[in-house]
């Protein structure tokens, strides 16, 4: 039993192709991968919106002046 | 890999592309340093993060669909349907797109193209610093990096692309397919995004917003030059036989080729890379009267202008083409800035976009009549084909989608950061946290000293 389809390298390498685990599940892995990507954008967008909204109301003039002086 | 010669050729090709990928990583390091150096201190971390996150976002999307587009789109949609057969081996669920002992090339070839994708996205990133929302830029990064540039590559940077066959389009080192499109895309975004606060005086006179760290810019641009060597090598097929090409070349002499499988040599492009860099630097120094920023950028613009034909030019031609390109783009940059009040923070539209367009058109004249391909029935290189190609790259696939998507983002208020945040700087939270922490620990230390009487 091996997750990659081979439990020994006593083979002719000319006959060997894919050697990764979960062969046959590539489409499912793609769906999971795409969900991870889209989910990342969603999480980032929500957090960024909250961050920018909070920043709009920070309102500390002294700190803003310092930020401008910092260049 | 039957036979020793096949085995050595395959392993050599695999290692060759791998080395180019490592070199090209320096382009992104350089872009990061360049952008951070050009930005003001209050925007450092966000500027850096904006560019760094291009790497994973473009990578995963290029794996999911970008690479498939390259193989499926050479004729689509104007001259045929999708090439599903070629595309099928490059889908994310194909066996070849993974650990496969029978395919040593797909991974490194995919990665070489991917590094071009990062570059295209990073070019856009530089133009929009200090006022774009990161989420907005990252959507554009995916679009330019994993959709639009790779469509143009399928059309005009593929041995069977319709632009090569029908127009005689020749763009060996990507004047158009990377630089013109990325410059056009950047222009489309900044036209909607608007300038940074303070960039223009009330009467419309542009103000210079100097980089906070010119030395960081120098290191950044030198790293981009270094990575560009790898980029050039990655544009070649390093070693192939006429039989494997299957075109009109006779005899048995193996050769390096450009991406169209037409012969060139690594020696030729090394001559021309250096000479076009030199021509660009010299012209930029003169035309900008020794301005450091423009001299560094001019070197890059010189290479970009000559890149379309650098597989075939004489080195002196490459030098002069680079020099002419820089003079044109320098003047065009300031004319556009004054006329249209556009704030291109790092000159990306000029250095990449205008230089790419000018380079394509010049190649049409200098290489007029040269074969665009080793295959029968392809149009030869010509000025009209190159000009149409430049229009497709800069405007159709670059400017237009960027402008439309940016308009949509602006309409729903997700393109630009709020004015209050722009004034405070995007790093306001980090700086406030730093200052608060510093004040707190200083006060705590003072109290400790007072309590212990030391």
Q: What are the chain B neighbours of A68 within 8 Å (beta carbons)?
A: 42, 423
Which residues have CB under 8 Å from A37's CB, separation 6+?
B57, B60, B61, B64
Which residues have CB under 8 Å from B391's CB, separation 6+?
none
For residues B166 and B208, membership in a common domain is answered with: yes
Give the closest-approach CA distance of A31 to chain B in angstroms: 10
For residues B221 and B366, membership in a common domain is answered with: yes
Share of chain B above pLDDT 70, in %: 99
Residue range(s) defining the domain that contains residue A39: 25-70
CB contact under 8 A, B64 and A33: yes
Q: Closest Cα partner for B124 from B412, B352, B355?
A: B352
Q: What is the pLDDT of residue B2?
A: 65
C-alpha distance from residue B121 to each of B37, B115, B358 (Å): 18, 10, 21
Both tokens of A54, joined, read: 């909070």
Encode pLDDT of B213-272 as tens digits.
999 999 999 999 999 999 999 999 999 999 999 999 999 999 999 999 999 999 999 999
Give yes or no for residue A67 having a pLDDT over 90.
no
Give B371's DSSP letter: B
Angle value at C-alpha B278, between B277 and B282, nearest 5 degrees: 120
Whether residue B446 is contained in a domain is answered as yes
Q: Closest Cα partner for B146 from B67, B215, B89?
A: B67
Alpha helices in B83-211 (DSSP H): 84-88, 106-127, 134-143, 149-156, 162, 181-193
Give yes or no for residue B328 having a pLDDT over 90.
yes
Bridge partners for B263 per DSSP: B257
Give the closest-approach CA distance of A9 to chain B in angstroms: 12
pTM metric for this prediction:
0.95
Q: What is the CATH number of the domain that holds B238?
A: 1.10.3430.10
Whether residue B283 is contained in a domain is answered as yes
Element (H, E) at B18: helix B4-38
For residues B247 and B181, membership in a common domain is answered with: yes
CA distance B188 to B408: 12
CA distance B368 to B372: 10
CB contact under 8 A, B99 and A20: yes
Give yes or no for residue A59 having a pLDDT over 70.
no
Other CB atoms closer than 10 Å to residue B78's CB: what's the count? 9
CB contact under 8 A, B100 and A18: yes
Give yes or no for residue A58 having a pLDDT over 80.
no
Whether residue B422 is contained in a domain is answered as no
- Lowest mean pLDDT: which of B191-195, B215-219, B360-364? B215-219
Give yes or no for residue A65 having a pLDDT over 90.
no
Mean pLDDT computed over B94-116: 97
Q: Which of residues 136-175 of B touch A (CB under 8 A)?
A: 138-139
Share of chain A above pLDDT 70, in %: 99
Structural domain count of chain A: 1
For residues B331 and B438, membership in a common domain is answered with: no
Q: What is the pLDDT of residue A24?
A: 97
Whether residue B363 is contained in a domain is answered as yes
For residues B453 and B326, membership in a common domain is answered with: no
Q: Which of A13, A30, A56 sits opposite B421 (nearest CB)?
A: A56
For residues B284 and B206, membership in a common domain is answered with: yes
CA distance B270 to B274: 6
Q: What are the chain B neighbours of A33 within 8 Å (beta carbons)?
A: 60, 63-64, 92
Whether residue A7 is contained in a domain is answered as no
Whether residue A17 is contained in a domain is answered as no
CA distance B160 to B201: 50
Residue matched to tokens 């290479």: B303
For residues B239 and B202, membership in a common domain is answered with: yes
Whether residue B369 is contained in a domain is answered as yes
Share of chain B above pLDDT 90, in %: 90
Whether residue A41 is contained in a domain is answered as yes
Give yes or no for residue A34 having a pLDDT over 70.
yes
CB contact under 8 A, B93 and A37: no
B10 in A contact zone (CB under 8 Å): no
Phi and psi dihedrals of B290, rounded to 5?
80, 15
Three-class secondary structure of residue B403 per DSSP: helix
Give yes or no for residue B178 having a pLDDT over 90.
yes
Give yes or no for residue B58 having a pLDDT over 90.
yes
Q: What is the pLDDT of residue B247?
A: 96
Q: What is the pLDDT of residue B1?
A: 58
For residues B278 and B302, membership in a common domain is answered with: yes
Structural domain count of chain B: 2
CA distance B31 to B27: 6
Whether residue A9 is contained in a domain is answered as no
Three-class secondary structure of residue B312 per DSSP: coil
Whether residue A38 is contained in a domain is answered as yes
Whether residue B216 is contained in a domain is answered as yes
Going by pLDDT thresholds of 50, 70 and 90, the confidence category of residue B118 is: very high
Q: What is the pLDDT of residue A66?
A: 74
Whether residue A16 is contained in a domain is answered as no
For residues B369 and B452, membership in a common domain is answered with: no
Distance between alpha carbon B127 and the CA centroid of its chain, in Å?
Answer: 12
Other CB atoms closer than 10 Å to residue B304's CB: what's the count? 32
Mean pLDDT computed over B398-415: 98
Mean pLDDT computed over B328-332: 97
Give yes or no for residue B51 having a pLDDT over 80.
yes
Whether residue B423 is contained in a domain is answered as no
Give yes or no for residue B167 having a pLDDT over 80.
yes
Report yes or no: B273 and B310 within 8 Å, Cβ to Cβ.
yes
Average pLDDT in chain B: 96
For residues B377 and B436, membership in a common domain is answered with: no
Encode pLDDT of B66-91 as tens digits.
999 999 999 999 999 999 999 999 99
Q: Closest Cα partner for B175 from B35, B294, B18, B325?
A: B325
- Cis check: omega of the bond before B77, within 30 degrees of 0: yes
For residues B313 and B442, membership in a common domain is answered with: no
Three-class secondary structure of residue B139 per DSSP: helix
Residue range(s) defining the domain that contains residue B448: 428-454
For residues B178 and B269, membership in a common domain is answered with: yes
Whether residue A46 is contained in a domain is answered as yes
């Amino acid at each position: 039993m091996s997750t990659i389809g081979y439990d020994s390298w006593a083979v002719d390498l000319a006959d060997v192709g894919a050697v990764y685990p979960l062969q046959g599940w590539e489409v499912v892995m793609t769906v999971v991968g795409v969900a991870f990507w889209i989910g990342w954008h969603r999480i980032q967008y929500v957090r960024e919106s909250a961050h920018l909204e909070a920043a709009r109301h920070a309102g500390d003039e002294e700190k803003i002046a310092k930020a401008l002086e910092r260049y | 890999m039957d036979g020793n010669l096949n085995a050595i050729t395959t392993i050599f090709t695999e290692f060759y592309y791998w080395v180019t990928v490592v070199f090209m990583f320096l382009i992104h390091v350089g872009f990061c340093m360049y952008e951070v150096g050009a930005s003001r201190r209050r925007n450092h971390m966000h500027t850096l993060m904006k560019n760094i996150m291009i790497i994973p976002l473009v990578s995963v999307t290029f794996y999911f669909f970008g690479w498939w587009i390259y193989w499926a789109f050479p004729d689509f949609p104007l001259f045929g349907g999708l090439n599903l057969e070629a595309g099928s081996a490059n889908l994310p669920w194909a066996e070849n797109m993974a650990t496969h002992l029978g395919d040593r090339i797909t991974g490194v070839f995919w990665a070489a193209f991917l590094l071009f994708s990062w570059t295209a996205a990073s070019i856009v990133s530089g133009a929009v610093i200090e006022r774009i929302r990161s989420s907005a830029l990252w959507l554009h990064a995916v679009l330019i990096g994993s959709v639009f540039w790779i469509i143009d590559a399928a059309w005009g940077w593929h041995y069977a692309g319709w632009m090569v066959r029908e127009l005689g389009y020749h763009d060996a080192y990507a004047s158009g397919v990377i630089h013109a499109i990325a410059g056009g895309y950047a222009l489309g975004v900044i036209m909607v995004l608007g300038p940074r606060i303070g960039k223009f005086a009330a009467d419309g006179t542009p103000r210079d917003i100097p980089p906070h760290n010119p030395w960081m810019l120098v290191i950044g641009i030198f790293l981009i030059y270094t990575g560009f060597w790898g980029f050039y090598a990655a544009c070649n097929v390093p070693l192939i036989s006429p039989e494997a090409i299957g075109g009109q070349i006779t005899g048995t002499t193996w050769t390096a080729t450009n991406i169209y499988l037409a012969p060139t040599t690594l020696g030729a492009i090394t001559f021309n890379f250096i000479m076009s860099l030199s021509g660009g630097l010299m012209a930029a120094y003169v035309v900008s009267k020794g301005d450091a920023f423009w001299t560094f950028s001019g070197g890059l613009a010189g290479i970009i202008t000559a890149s379309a034909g650098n597989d075939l030019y004489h080195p002196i031609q490459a030098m002069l083409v680079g020099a002419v390109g820089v003079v044109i783009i320098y003047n065009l940059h300031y004319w556009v800035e004054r006329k249209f009040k556009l704030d291109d923070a790092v000159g990306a539209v000029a250095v990449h976009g205008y230089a790419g367009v000018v380079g394509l058109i010049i190649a049409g004249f200098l290489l007029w009549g040269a074969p665009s391909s080793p295959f029968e029935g392809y149009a030869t290189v010509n000025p009209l084909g190159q000009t149409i190609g430049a229009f497709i790259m800069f405007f159709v696939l670059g400017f237009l989608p960027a402008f439309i998507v940016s308009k949509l983002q602006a309409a729903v208020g997700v393109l630009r950061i709020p004015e209050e945040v722009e004034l405070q700087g995007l790093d306001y939270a980090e700086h406030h946290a730093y200052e608060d922490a510093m004040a707190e620990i200083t006060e705590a230390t003072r109290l400790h000293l007072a309590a212990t009487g030391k």
